Structure 1
Amino acid sequence: MERGSSRSTPVSRGLFVLSRALDLPIQYAILSSRALGAPLINTLGGAPISPTGRPVYLLGTNLGLSPQRAILFGMAVGSFVKQSHWVLAIGQEPISPALAAFVGAFNTLSNSINTLLFTNAATSVLSYPSVGLDETRLPIQTLVGIGMYVLGMGLEWVSEMQRLKFKKNPRNKGRPYTGGLFGLARHINYGGYVLWRAGFATAAAGWLWGAAVAGFLTFYFTKRAIPELDEYCGKRYGVEWVQYKRSVPSKLLPFIL
């Protein structure tokens, strides 16, 4: 990604949206009665869970998914909408076709791992004793996962919209954005991403998987992405960035990290 450039890359952005859109039929096929992931689960020695429970209706349309499965599919849809909006309306820097394809594939892989773990009896949140494979009941893991997902999406989306509004004002050219949600943590949009990704994982496969996803993403952002961005911002904004880091010590989430 070319930081600081505003060169137009419509083909790459279109490829990104297309790659993200292709994720939705894949997730639906894994979660629905088509059981796309069942052969893989069987090959790995698992036991696929067959869909049960009354299907959810949305605007009079039968989704063909139980409440549990509809929630996970809704999370996949939400990630597609958010990321497509970012690449079409928020992101200002150019992206290459290779990066667009990679990010699309990474998100599809992440979503697929979640839905496959959910549809495998040994790893699904449905395997918890409080649920006992009953898809009409929502375990605490799913409810907590929903909360994390909504909060994370809100933090990431709102913070990026706030920063975009700041950047569009010509008077702010060459200045770092330090207000709004970015006044709580310097990379709170990354923190929001960690939250909703971990929430998705928790709702699908429980506490351990949710913690593993959160740990992996936190490690990546704090050890690679944030240091690279800090170096760039330090060179571009100089003293203003140094002062910002002093006044806002949190990197990802306020009072946590």
Structure 2
Amino acid sequence: MSYEKPLPGVNPQPRGHFSEHRVNPNISVPGTITFVLGRVSDAPLQYLIFTQGWAVKGLTAVGLRASNLLITAGPGVAGLGPIPTLLTGMYAVAGLRHGYWVLFTNTYHWPPSAALQVVAYNTVLNTVNTLVAVNALTSSPYPILGDFTDCMGWKQWAGLALFAIGISVEIIAEESRKHFKKDPRNKGKIDDTGLWSVVRHPNYLGYTLWRAGITLTTGSLIATAALTVFQVLAFTSGGIPGISGYMSAKYGQQWKDYTRRVPSAIIPGIL
């Protein structure tokens, strides 16, 4: 058995309760429903923030430049311009990814309160990205004429690449661990195969990458750097210490041996 993925980017529960949350074998139906509905509704919410002028009103209220015209100008889908269309698509894919995870990959208890925290965390980050994108579009150097790809710059292409890589890393890590745990021969063992032999938390690496990819797609390098640093700090100060304490108590020397073989927590050779 290997350790599970706690709240993406947050660890709101006290250390003592953390292990209790993890070892509960019963799947919470209300929690799962809350998790799925909350995550898949995020993309429609962001679409409304774009199209109903809420982002522009919020930004202008604090003295920042924003234009409704630039949100809708150029080739896109459902009344959105190219970059808002791309961002909304990313939000949708990430929400569906989380929904799939909690329905088909997850094996432990998610009470509604914990599910709501995951939903709120991701919704807040995506709302910030939406606001950053609207502000960045005000001075966007990219054309609004031509086909969809003509309206994308290197930041959007790089963001899309990071997003795809991050989602893939997260999926591969979680699914490979699921199969490892299903094998009776691995009972009582820590998963140190595949991506888990490279870093101790490849799912966190994947999450950080696709989060950075979304923010880079907004066109703001400053926001991308800030989000990436914030996310890494959130993991290293919250989720990872909780997991380490749980794993150390459960596996003892096996966990110590694993951390020696795989010293990097998130970023290979760095952190």
TM-score by structure 1 length? Answer: 0.89
1:148 and 1:195 in contact (8 A); partners too: yes
* CA positional deviation for 1:171: 2.4
| 1:187-209 alpha-carbon deviations (Å, 9 max, x no partner) | 01111111111111111142111
Give distance in 2, aligned partners of 1:25 and 1:103: 17
1:113 corresponds to 2:128: yes
Counterpart Cα distance in 2 of 1:152 and 1:55: 24
In structure 2, what is the Cα distance between the partners aligned to 1:133 and 1:48?
A: 16
Q: How many residues align?
A: 246
SS in structure 2 opposite 1:3?
A: helix
What's the counterpart of residue 16 of structure 1?
35
Corresponding residue number in structure 2 for 1:35: 53
Asked if the contact 1:159/1:188 (under 8 Å) is kept, the reply is yes
CA RMSD of superposed structures (Å): 1.9
Q: Which amino acid aligns with 1:201?
A: T
Q: Tell me, which stretches of 5 or more residues in structure 2 are unaligned?
A: 1-17
Asked if 1 retains the 8 angstrom alpha-carbon contact of 2:38 and 2:119, the reply is yes
Map 1:1-257 to 2 at 5 A. 2-32=21-51, 34-49=52-67, 50=69, 51-56=72-77, 63-120=78-135, 124=136, 127-128=139-140, 130-131=141-142, 136-257=150-271
How far apart are the structure 2 equivalents of 1:237 and 1:126? 54
3-state SS in 2 of match to 1:37: helix
Aligned 8 A contact 1:125 1:142 in 2: no
Q: Which residue of 2 aligns with 1:59?
A: none
Stretches of 4+ aligned residues off by more than 3 angstroms: 132-136
How big is the shift at 1:158?
0.9
Matched-pair contact (CA < 8 Å) for 2:166–2:207 = yes
Tell whether the 8 Å contact from 1:125 to 1:139 is kept in structure 2 after alignment.
no
Give 1:125 shift.
Answer: 5.7
* Secondary structure, counterpart of 2:191 in structure 1: coil
Gaps of 5+ in 1: 57-62
Quote the offset at 1:20 in angstroms: 1.4
Say if 1:40 and 1:133 are closer, same or farther in 2 by CA, change over 3 A. Answer: farther
CA-CA distance at 1:250 after TM superposition: 1.1
Amino-acid identity (%): 32
